[in-house]
Amino acid sequence: MTLTEERSADMSAARHAMIVSQLRTSGVNEPWVLAAMTGVAREDFVPEAMRDAAYIDRAIPLANGRFLAAPLVHGKMLAEAALEKADKVLLVGDGQGYLAALLRPLAGSLDSVDPAAATGMTGEGGYSLVIIDGAVEELPEAIGAQMAEGGRIVTGLMVRGVSRLATGCKTAGAVSLLPLAELGIPALPEFTAPKRWSF
């Protein structure tokens, strides 16, 4: 076995261990989620120096202050999103990153916007699903405006310094978020709530 083949086998074993020991044991059992995460090589989306740690159960630092969330975060996000082939999806995150690679085969269409540009979006995108790859303190109106009426959203939500997975939908033009389980989701500094005076 060549060194390349050996490394590939090691990564495949690590991917299998991620499915069994991180996702399944935490309640992520949807066959389509497990198939998606089995089929995408997570190690291809981390810096070379971090490839051997690609499947650890914590966030991995990337360039420019970004993080690749832990596998469980993306597994839970996919499960909550319950994608359908008819979905027009907007990913707030890296359009060439790991979560985009997971979403692309599952969605009818996938567009992406960098978090830094998300607050400047204009017009109505008519998206049936928005996924934010990170945790927000406050959801910008510009993102809500991109959602179709009845559209769904899956995101991380910072509540008093604790990140939670959150889902929501757009009803009567307004987007409401429901925080779910605590989950270590990397915060997106672009969506920090403005500081308010307190006495």
Give the C-alpha separation, 26 to 75, whole Å. 10
Query: Is the pLDDT at 196 greater than 80, yes or no?
Result: no
The per-residue pLDDT for range 108-131, each reduced to its tens digit, is 999 999 999 998 998 888 999 999
pLDDT on residue 198: 54
For the segment 64-119, what is each residue's pLDDT rounded down to a tens digit? 789 999 999 999 999 999 999 999 999 999 999 999 999 999 999 999 999 999 98
- Quote the mean pLDDT of the chain: 92
| Closest to 66 (Cα-Cα) out of 125, 133, 119 | 133
Domain positions in the chain: 3-191
**Would the pTM count as exceeding 0.85?**
yes
Task: Quote the pLDDT of residue 20.
Answer: 95
**Residues 96, 99: Cα–Cα separation, whole Å:** 8
CATH superfamily of 3-191: Vaccinia Virus protein VP39 (3.40.50.150)
Find where tokens 């307190």 sit.
Answer: 198
Q: Which residue has the tokens 């060549």?
A: 2
Mean pLDDT of 132-159: 96
Beta carbons within 8 Å of 97's beta carbon, 6+ residues apart: 45, 68, 133
Give the strand order in the sheet containing 88-92. Answer: 109-113, 88-92, 127-136, 147-159, 162-171, 174-182
